[in-house]
Structure 1
Amino acid sequence: MTFSSTRDTATMGHSSAVAAMRKAREQVTHTFEATPSAGAVAEVLDDICQVWHDMDQAKLHILMRLAHIHSTGNLLEVGGQRTLAGWITQALGTSPAEARSLACLADSLFHERLPETRQALDSGLLSLGEATATAKAVEAATKTRDETEFPDPDAFRQLMDSGMMAVKADNPALSASQLARLGRRISVQLHPTLVEDEHRRAHRNRRLDVLRSFEGSFYLQASGPEVDAELLEKAVAAFTKPLNPTGPRQSKAERSYDAFMKLIRSALGHQNCTKPPGPLAMINVTVPLDVYTGQRATVPKGDGDGAATQDGMLLAMEAVRALSPGSVLRRVITDPATGKPLDVGRGMRNAPEQIRTVAHHGRTTCAWPQGCDVPISGTEADHVTSYSRGGRTSAENIQPLCSTHNRLKWRRENNPHRATWKGRPAHRRPDPPPQPEPPPPRE
C-alpha cells in the first residue's frame, strides 16, 4: 500500500497529536490516581487548576484550527456540516448550546474581534468557559446596540471587550455567569434606553398559556418583563413551606408547585375582597434619587448608576415607578468623598437592615474570595473580622456570605493550621524556559 507525500504528512501530523495527547492523559491519570493526604489537598487543587488551564489552551488552539477550516469552506466539503456549531455538536458530542458558545468564541477570536479576551486567555486570567461567556455577552450586546451611536459593530465589540476585561483584571474571581451579567450591565451603560425599550417590548408581547396533555397533566408557559419574574418568585417564595425533615421527602420544585397552587386558591378566595391588600413581598431595588425623580431621564454613558435589584437584575424605570405606590422607600446616604459607611460599633451583633443595605451595595452574589454564584438574596450578613474576635458591626466589616461559606469561614478560623486552597491564581505560572540543545558530538 502506498500513500502520496501530502497524505502521509497529514497522517503523521494527526498521529503525533493523538499520541502526545494519549501520553499526557496517561501521565495525568497516573498522577491523580493516588489519594492525597489531608495536608496535600491544597497543592493538588492547584495542580488541577494548572492542568485544566493547559487543557483549555489545547482546546483553544483546536477551536482556532476549526475556525480556519470553516473559513476555507472545507468544513462543509470535508466535514459534512455547514456551520461550526453543527460540526462541534455532531463530531465532538457536545450539547447544541455549548457548541454555539464555542463556535461564537472561535469565530470572534479567529477574526480578531476580541483582542483583550485573547490576551486574557493566553495569560491565564480567563478560562475557556469564561471566554465563551464573554464572547456570547459581547455578541448579544452588539445585536442590540444603538446603531446610530455605534455604526461599526467591530468597534463596539472591542469597546465591550475592553470594559469586561478591565473589570475581570480587577476581580479575577468573577465567574462565567457573573461575566454574562457584567456584559449586560456594560451594554446598558453604552445604550441607556435599552432596558426601557426591552421592558416595553416584553410587556407588549406578554402571554400566559396553559397547555393540557393527553396524560392528564398540564404545562404552564409564560413570558413577560423581568420585573414580573421577580414578583412571581417572591410570591411563590412567600407561600412555600420550609422543608419538613420528618414529613414525606419533597423537592424544592414540588414545594414551589404546591405554593403556586396555594397562591392561586388564595387569589380566587379574595377576588371580591374590598379590604386593601397587605404589603407585597420585599424586593430591594437600588436607584439613584435623581433618576427616580426624573431629574435624569436616562443613565449617562459610563455611569454605573441605574435601577437594579439586589441580585443585579436591571429594571426599567417605568417598572420601578409602577411598583412605587405600594412600596416603602428608604434613603441611604454615603459620603462621596470618604465613602464612610454606617457603624453601630460592638453594641449590636446582628447587623440591622440599614447596615446590610450599605454593606451589600454594589454586590450581587456571595462575597467568598474564591468565587460563588449564590445570589445576594440567598446570603447572610457575615462579619469580615468576626464579632468574637473584636469585629465591629459596621458596613465596612459586613459582607454577604451564603450559608455554606459562612460556616466554612467559621471552621477555618477555628482550625487555622489546616492547609486551605487559596483560589485560582490571577495569572498562570509562566512556562519554563526551553532546555538548550546539547552541543554536537566532537568528531
Structure 2
Amino acid sequence: MAIEQHPGIPAGSPAEEIRKGLAGVLRGVERAVGAEVAPGHREGLTQAMAALAGGQDALDLAAARLAARMRETGALAGSDHSTVTGLLRDNGRSLAQAKDIVRVAQHMDEYGDSVRAAESGEIGFAHLAKIVAECENATDKRPTGEYPDAAGFRAKAEPIMLQAAKAGADKSGLGKIGRTLVCRISPKTHEEENRRAYEERRARFVKNRFGFTFDVQGDIASEHILASAVDCHLAPPGEGDERTMDERRFDALIQLCENRLIAEGVEVPVPEEGSDAATALAVPRPCSCGGRKGAGRPLVNITVPLAALRGEEGAEPAVSDRDRVLPGSAARAFSTDCVLQRIVTDPVSGKVLDVGTARRLFPDKVRHALAARTTVCQWEEGCTTPVRWCEADHRTEWWEGGATTVENGQMLCGRHNREKHRRRAEAHYLATDRRPRARRGGTSHREPGGGEAGPDPPGD
C-alpha cells in the first residue's frame, strides 16, 4: 500500500507534503490491520475506519478547493491535461467522483453554508456534491420571470437541501427532494403550467380507411384519472398472451367503453366473428370492479403533506403513486371526495411512520342527502352532469376546519371540482403577487357555491 514515488517533485513543495501525509495515513492503516486485537478491545479498528472515512470527505473537499484555485489561475495551461476532470481521471478517480469534485469547485462561493457544513463534518462530501448538483439543475429550470436572478433562486433552494442533508437524508432522498425544488419554490409556476396543459386539452378522433387514431393530451390530474381507469381494466398477461403493452392498454380502453355502454343500457356493437377485434376482445380481462363485488371506484393514490393542502409557502408538494409531482390544485381536488387513507411520512427520509384506516370523507348518508338536493352538478356557472356522476365536495375544506356535513357540502362533477381548485389557486397567486400585473380576462373568480375567492391559502 505504498504511495508511488514521483521523482521530480520539488523538495518542500505542497505536492511533496501531500505525498508524505498520504504515506503516513497508509502506515496508520497498516498498523491497524496488522495489530493484534485483544479480546474486548476492538474499538481501535472502528476508530481507524471512522478516521479514514472522515478523512476521505476532507480530502475530496480539499481537492475541490484545489480545483477551484487551478481554475482561477489557469494552472492547466501548457500541461498534459486540458481539464481538471481529465487530470483526476488519470490519477485514479472515477468519472462520477471527478465530476463531483469539479462541480463543487465551480460553485463553492455560491453554496457557502453547505461548504461550511461539510468542513465541520455535519454533512459528507457526497451530500455537498448532491446539494450543488440538484440546486444547479433546479436553478437552470427556474421560472426566469419570477426569478430572473439565479442567485435569488439558489438562496431559497440551498436551505431546503441542506436541512435535509443535516437531518440524515441519503443521496437518493436528496435527489427526490431536488426534483421538487422548482415546484416548492415556485408553486405558482407549477399551477400556471398545469392550467396551460388543461386549456390545451384535446381528444382528437381521426378516422382512416381501415380504422382510426385517437390522440389525447391534457393536464396531470386528467392523466391520473384516465390511467387509473384503464389500469382497472388491464389484466396481467396470461400464458400465451402475446399482446404488447400498447395492445393490452387499447383492449382495456375498449372494455372500459363497453362497460359504460352496458351501464347506460346501450347495445354494445359486436365485431364480426373471427375478426382481429373479436379475438382481442375475447381475451380474459378483469371486470371493472377488479373482481370484487361492491368495490368502489379506482383510487388515485397520492402522498400529500397537510402543509401543501393548506398552501403554506415552501411546503413539500404532493406526489402520486405514478411518481408525478402534482400541482396544489390537483392535490386538493383529489383530496375532497375520496377513500382517504392517512399515510404519515418522515419529511426528510420519506419513511412511512404510520398508516391509518382507509375511510371516505363523506359518509354515505351525507352523500345521499346532498344528492337528494339536486339532479345535476352544482357548479355556479351551470353544468348538466347528472348528480350520479358527481363528487361530494366541502365548501370550506376539511383541512381548513370545514365540517363534513350537509350544510357544508355540495355535489360537483370531477371536472368542475378540479376547476374550482385551479381558480382558487390562481386567485391566491394573483392576490399575493407583488409585481404589477394586469388582470386577466375580466372573469370573476368566485368560489363555487358562493363567496369571493380571496387571498387565503388555496383551498375552499
Q: TM-score, normalised on structure 1?
A: 0.51
2:301 maps to: 283
Rate the CA distance shift 1:114–1:74 in 2: closer, same or farther, 3 A: same
Match of 1:315 among 319, 322, 326: 326
What letter matches 2:325 in structure 1? L
Higher Rg of the two aligned structures: 2
2:412 maps to: none
2:432 maps to: none
Rate the CA distance shift 1:268–1:158 in 2: closer, same or farther, 3 A: closer
What is the alpha-carbon distance in structure 2 between the residues aligned to residue 47 and residue 15 of structure 1?
24
What is the alpha-carbon distance in structure 2 between the residues aligned to residue 259 and residue 201 of structure 1?
40
1:328 maps to: 338
Rate the CA distance shift 1:301–1:58 in 2: closer, same or farther, 3 A: same
What letter matches 1:49 in structure 2? A
What is the alpha-carbon distance in structure 1 between the residues aligned to residue 219 and residue 26 of structure 2?
48
Alignment pair present for 1:182 and 2:177: yes
1:214 maps to: none
What is the alpha-carbon distance in structure 2 between the residues aligned to residue 23 and residue 202 of structure 1?
61
Match of 1:192 among 183, 187, 191: 187
What is the alpha-carbon distance in structure 2 between the residues aligned to residue 88 and residue 229 of structure 1?
46
What letter matches 1:130 in structure 2? H
Aligned residue-pair number: 290
Alignment pair present for 1:161 and 2:172: no
Alignment pair present for 1:119 and 2:116: yes
Cα deviations by residue, 1:386-418 (Å, 9 ceiling, x for unpaired): xxxxxxxxxxxxxxxxxxxxxxxxxxxxxxxxx
Shift of 1:128: 0.7
* Alignment check: 8 A CA contact 1:102 1:132 kept: yes
What is the alpha-carbon distance in structure 2 between the residues aligned to residue 263 and residue 85 of structure 1?
43
| Structure 1 residues 24-423: aligned runs within 5 Å | 24-32=25-33, 44-45=45-46, 47-81=48-82, 83-95=83-95, 97-109=96-108, 112-169=109-166, 171=167, 173-196=168-191, 266-273=248-255, 274-276=258-260, 277-278=288-289, 279-280=297-298, 283-286=301-304, 299=311, 301-302=313-314, 304=315, 306-309=317-320, 314-317=325-328, 328-330=338-340, 353-354=341-342, 357=343, 359-360=344-345, 362=347, 365-366=350-351, 376=352
What is the alpha-carbon distance in structure 1 between the residues aligned to residue 197 and residue 31 of structure 2?
54
SS of 1:24 mapped into structure 2: helix
What letter matches 1:113 in structure 2? E
Shift of 1:316: 3.0
What letter matches 2:99 in structure 1? R
What is the alpha-carbon distance in structure 2 between the residues aligned to residue 158 and residue 46 of structure 1?
37
Rate the CA distance shift 1:138–1:271 in 2: closer, same or farther, 3 A: closer
Rate the CA distance shift 1:362–1:114 in 2: closer, same or farther, 3 A: closer
SS of 2:94 mapped into structure 1: coil
What is the alpha-carbon distance in structure 1 between the residues aligned to residue 38 and residue 243 of structure 2?
51
* Alignment check: 8 A CA contact 1:285 1:308 kept: yes
1:20 maps to: 21
Cα deviations by residue, 1:186-242 (Å, 9 ceiling, x for unpaired): 4433222344467689999xxxxxxxxxxxxxxxxxxx999879969x969x9779x
What letter matches 1:77 in structure 2? G
What is the alpha-carbon distance in structure 1 between the residues aligned to residue 80 and residue 224 of structure 2?
43
Shift of 1:280: 4.1
What letter matches 1:156 in structure 2? F
Q: Where in structure 1 are there 5+ consecutive unaligned residues?
A: 1-6, 205-223, 242-254, 331-352, 367-375, 383-443
What is the alpha-carbon distance in structure 2 between the residues aligned to residue 199 and residue 35 of structure 1?
66
SS of 1:157 mapped into structure 2: helix
Higher helix share: 1
Q: Where in structure 2 are there 5+ consecutive unaligned residues?
A: 1-7, 201-217, 261-287, 290-296, 357-460
Cα deviations by residue, 1:107-134 (Å, 9 ceiling, x for unpaired): 111xx11111111011111101001000
* Alignment check: 8 A CA contact 1:168 1:174 kept: yes
SS of 2:142 mapped into structure 1: coil
Cα deviations by residue, 1:245-296 (Å, 9 ceiling, x for unpaired): xxxxxxxxxx9xx99967556435445420154454662342769x87xxx8
What letter matches 1:88 in structure 2? L
Shift of 1:57: 0.4
What letter matches 2:17 in structure 1? S
What letter matches 1:101 in structure 2? D
What is the alpha-carbon distance in structure 2 between the residues aligned to residue 286 and residue 189 of structure 1?
13
Rate the CA distance shift 1:361–1:260 in 2: closer, same or farther, 3 A: farther
What letter matches 1:60 in structure 2? L
What is the alpha-carbon distance in structure 2 between the residues aligned to residue 380 and residue 123 of structure 1?
34
What is the alpha-carbon distance in structure 1 between the residues aligned to residue 231 and residue 41 of structure 2?
47
Higher relative contact order (CA 8 A, sep 6+): 1
What is the alpha-carbon distance in structure 2 between the residues aligned to residue 229 and residue 259 of structure 1?
27
Shift of 1:135: 0.5
Cα deviations by residue, 1:49-74 (Å, 9 ceiling, x for unpaired): 33211111012112211221122222
* Alignment check: 8 A CA contact 2:169 2:348 kept: no
